[in-house]
Chains A and B, each alone.
Chain A
């Protein structure tokens, strides 16, 4: 584990990034994605807990403020490089072995659907060491188990520094379950992502 103060090291061989956030997540994600250069080449798949409304404006909100294409994840869609996907409300979002996305309506996890755990676990099963998973601010325990599974499958794990998180419950729950590769501030998470682009795959 890198101490908080240390700069993020480059992580070679990352094929995809998954991010989970809950309470305070919109602002946190805007900070992280604000660091991304245009032409960022990796796919980023995000679960942000939302009230269960039929249509979410997330993709529209972020599309105006992020330098990469932003879309709501659709069932059976092939994951494209350089695209930011958001899980829509009311459905769990998973990654399939053929690198496509799938939706499902199993029971809620930690009162949430979409669940961060399900995205992280399925992405880890598909990408193994090629996955980077990032867990940010939030007021529940979703994502902790999924993050530990990412680590088990050889992936790289990042937790937002709880001291900085708007709501520290979710980062703390993750830290209680496993020791991540990085504990970082939002801006450092942003620079870590930006540095991935230059890594040879």
Chain B
């Protein structure tokens, strides 16, 4: 069905790609359509074409739109059983490496990064690990670098942390100030935050573990396969790939090049 609004949406996505090199062309359509509709109301634009004109001529407006197009929904130790499985099944194998490189792809505002860093510190691995935390949204990366989260959310994360096998008091990792929790900056001493797109960029390092959670659901199959291709290329032999709780390699051409280590928790190993 080529309704006018569908045509306008395609043109907007194409314009963004041509002008700013952000590639949303192979994102899942239904969600992109809703997010653009949401942005239309916030920008007070009557049509997607009007929004397109605005972002084409005003880079600041595009950066604003980018905040709508990306979905910064995250939490620390999201799906605690997932992190428990990493601790129990993956960490013993990671310990056999003299140095470890981890890529957190689509790290958004950093919740996954701090979760992983805390887990690695408790397992005595953080000092010999380099974490690459990448995202397409510079505003999200800035927030991730600051490591400041609302205290209200951190209370919920505390329960997650404990269920995920946390060994200390979660409060040991942050300082509370007013309504915020400022996380221990030594957690990110070995973290490199970088702008990287799974849609347009290539592999930058060999890694032992890649975590990409609740990112691939926003991609269509073609783009999912591109991402899986990057992960396959980056991972060392027998490296680990961990996905979100509803993400799977089952429908991918790369399904046969990984084997599940803990299938229920979406933890895979490269074959």
Contact = CB atoms under 8 A, between A and B. Distances in A.
Answer yes or no: do A and B interact.
Answer: yes
B73 interface: yes
B214 A77 contact: no
B29 interface: yes
A75 B30 contact: no
B246 A103 contact: yes
A100 B73 CA distance: 23
Contacts of B245: 54
Interface residues of A, number: 26
A94 B1 contact: no
A74 B246 contact: yes
Contacts of A126: 1
Contacts, number: 67
Interface stretch (A3-11, A39-47, A104-112, A177-185): A104-112
Contacts of A155: none
Nearest to B28: A102
A96 B245 CA distance: 20
Interface string A67-99: 000000011110000000000100110111110
B182 to A, nearest CB: 26
Given A94-B28, A104-B217, A125 B248 contact: no
Contact of A122 (B6, B30, B224, B251): B30
Residue from B216, B218, B246, B250 whose CB has the most chain A CB atoms within 10 Å: B246
Nearest to A128: B1
A92 B73 CA distance: 13
A105 B31 CA distance: 9
B153 interface: no
Contacts of A76: 220-221, 224, 251
A62 interface: no
Interface residues of B, number: 26
A118 interface: yes
A118 B31 CA distance: 9
B218 A104 contact: yes
Nearest to A93: B30
Interface string B230-269: 0000000000000001111011000000000000000000
A121 B38 CA distance: 14
Residue from A105, A125, A128 whose CB has the most chain B CB atoms within 10 Å: A105
A34 to B, nearest CB: 29
Interface string A181-196: 0000000000000000
A96 B247 contact: no
Contacts of A75: 216-217, 246-248
Given A75-B217, A77-B251, A125 B30 contact: yes
Nearest to B31: A104
B33 interface: yes
B79 interface: yes
Nearest to B3: A125
B55 to A, nearest CB: 20
B71 interface: yes
Contacts of A103: 217, 246
A13 B35 CA distance: 31
A80 to B, nearest CB: 13
A125 B33 contact: yes
Contacts of B6: 125
A76 B251 CA distance: 7
Interface string B12-55: 00000000000000001111011100000000000000000000
Interface string B74-104: 0000010100000000000000000000000
Contacts of A121: 30, 34
Given A96-B220, A97-B29, A118 B34 contact: yes
Contacts of B221: 76, 100
B251 A94 contact: no
A76 B71 CA distance: 18
Contacts of A94: 28, 30-31
B35 A96 contact: no
B217 to A, nearest CB: 5
Contacts of A105: 71, 73, 214, 217
10 contacts: A54-B79, A75-B216, A75-B246, A92-B31, A94-B30, A97-B1, A104-B31, A105-B214, A107-B73, A118-B34
Interface of A: 54, 74-77, 88, 91-92, 94-98, 100, 102-107, 118, 121-122, 125-126, 128
